[in-house]
Each structure stands twice: as C-alpha cells, then as structure tokens.
Structure 1
Amino acid sequence: MKTDMNDIDKMIKDALSDEEAKFYEDLNEPSLINKLGDVYKGQLGWLAMIMNFIMVLFLILGIYSIVNFWQAPETLEMIRWAVVGIISLLTIGILKLYFWMQMDKNDLKRELKRIELQIAALNNRLDK
C-alpha cells in the first residue's frame, strides 16, 4: 500500500471531528527559530546556555589561532596553531550537533503528542 503523506494527513483529518480537526491544524510545525528557542526552554536549557558560551570561547580561540597561524615564522609553529584551530572548529561542530539533536528530540516529542491526541480521540469515540 503506497500512499502519499498528504493522503495520510487527509485521512486523519477526515477521521477527526470538526473540533478535533481544528485543534490538529493548530499543531503546525514551528519555524527553525522557534525550535532553537525551545532548546533553551527545556529542562536542559541551562546546559544549552553553557554550551553556547563554550562555543563562543572556542570561536575566539579558533580565530586567534588562524591569525597566529598566518603570522608564524616557522613551520612547526604553524602546525601547532593549525592543530589548535582545527580542534577548536571540530569542538564547535560537535556542540552544534548537540543543538540539532535536541531540536530533533523535541520534534519527535511533538509527533508523539500528536499520536497520543489521535489515540485519545479514537478512545473517546469508542467509549460513546
């Protein structure tokens, strides 16, 4: 059975009552900015703030190491500054991955809540 996502959404809306369908429509996908803001509002919001601060520190270290890399007179010193710059950029990338994973986790929670809503609506119909 091959169905399109829009067909599935239409089938879900048809199965819901008018009030439930209106509520379901209000559960639209938030924008990227709102998703990013939700990372700071959760239980680990304090950790996200600390990670942001650490990212800024590693960005400053990365810029500093790049500047010193270009001003280094010897090859060995250039290699050292390049390693520091690469490590700082990798650290920033890893911390950014944490934020994306948290946004994905919030998306999954939102979808599970939608499924819970649909199960509760189905349960109400079966009880009547």
Structure 2
Amino acid sequence: MDELIDEALDAEERELLRTLDEPGFFSLAFGVFQGPSGWMSMVMMFWQTVMFITGVWAAWHFFEAADPVTQLRWGLPAMLLLLFAGMLKMALIPRMESNRLLRELKRVELQIAAAARR
C-alpha cells in the first residue's frame, strides 16, 4: 500500500513527506510542553518533581527511623508521594501518543490533498 502511495506522489511531495518522519522519544516527550495546553503539562511536571523529591526525602527518613511508629509516619507519606508522582508522570503519556496520532493524521490529510489535486 505504501508503495502505491509513494508512486502516486511527485518528487516535491515525496520530499515533504520524508521530512514528516516519526520523531524520537525525547522529541515526543518535550513536545507535550508545546501548544495551547503546554502550560498544563509544565504545571503537572513541576508538581510531579516536587512530589518526587519530597517522597525521596520522606523515604530517606523512613529508612533512618528506628521505631515502627516513626517508620509509619515517614513511610506512608513517602509511598503516597512517590505513587502520586508516578501517576502524574503517566498522565503525560496519553498526550504524547495523541500528538503522535495527530502528526500521522496530518500526514494522511496531506496525502489525500495531493491525490485530490490530480
């Protein structure tokens, strides 16, 4: 199927489609901070970082605690903060995938528009 599409395109359109290659992981990851809702991703990443650092700090105190009550006082917040930090991080993955899907849809639209011109 890709060969048929490639044959139907002229050289200029082929070159344009080649520039729309699949970006790498880091391009996708940093792409969530762009666009109209990029500010929300920045806020989520800020709070994720705060929760992770605080969770590691609480875990450090948990491992230094001697009695079980002190371990519970530090261990439960550490566990919750690290879980919430992971959940916030995972909330950005669907945004990465939707950006990738939108890029592919734009590519298909370009191919349809090129085919309609003929």
TM-score between the two structures when normalised by the length of structure 2: 0.89
69, 80, 87: which is aligned to 2:80? 87
The Cα shift of 1:9 comes to 2.7
- Paired with 1:119 and 1:85, the residues of 2 have a C-alpha distance of 52
- The structural deviation recorded for 1:78 is 1.1
Deviates more, 1:109-118 or 1:71-80: 71-80
Number of equivalences: 118
Task: Determine which of 106, 117, 120 is the counterpart of 2:113.
Answer: 120
Residue of structure 2 aligned with 1:61, choices 51, 54, 65? 54
What is the CA–CA distance in structure 1 between the aligned matches of 2:71 and 2:38, rounded to whole Å? Answer: 38
The 5 Å alignment of 1:4-83 reads 8-83=1-76
Deviations 1:61-99 (A, max 9, x none): 111111110122221221232221111111111111122
Aligned partner of 1:5 in structure 2 is none
Identical-residue share of aligned pairs (%): 36
Please, which runs of 5 or more residues in structure 2 have no aligned partner? none
Q: 1 or 2 for the larger relative contact order (CA 8 Å, sep ≥6)?
A: 2
Structure 1 outlier segments of 4+, above 6 Å: none
TM-score by length of 1: 0.83
For the aligned residues, what is the CA RMSD?
Answer: 1.4
Q: How does 1:91-102 map to 2 (within 5 A)?
A: 91-102=84-95
Q: Structure 2: which amino acid aligns with 1:12?
A: I
Q: Structure 2 CA distance, aligned partners of 1:123 and 1:45? A: 34
* 2:97 paired with 1:104: yes
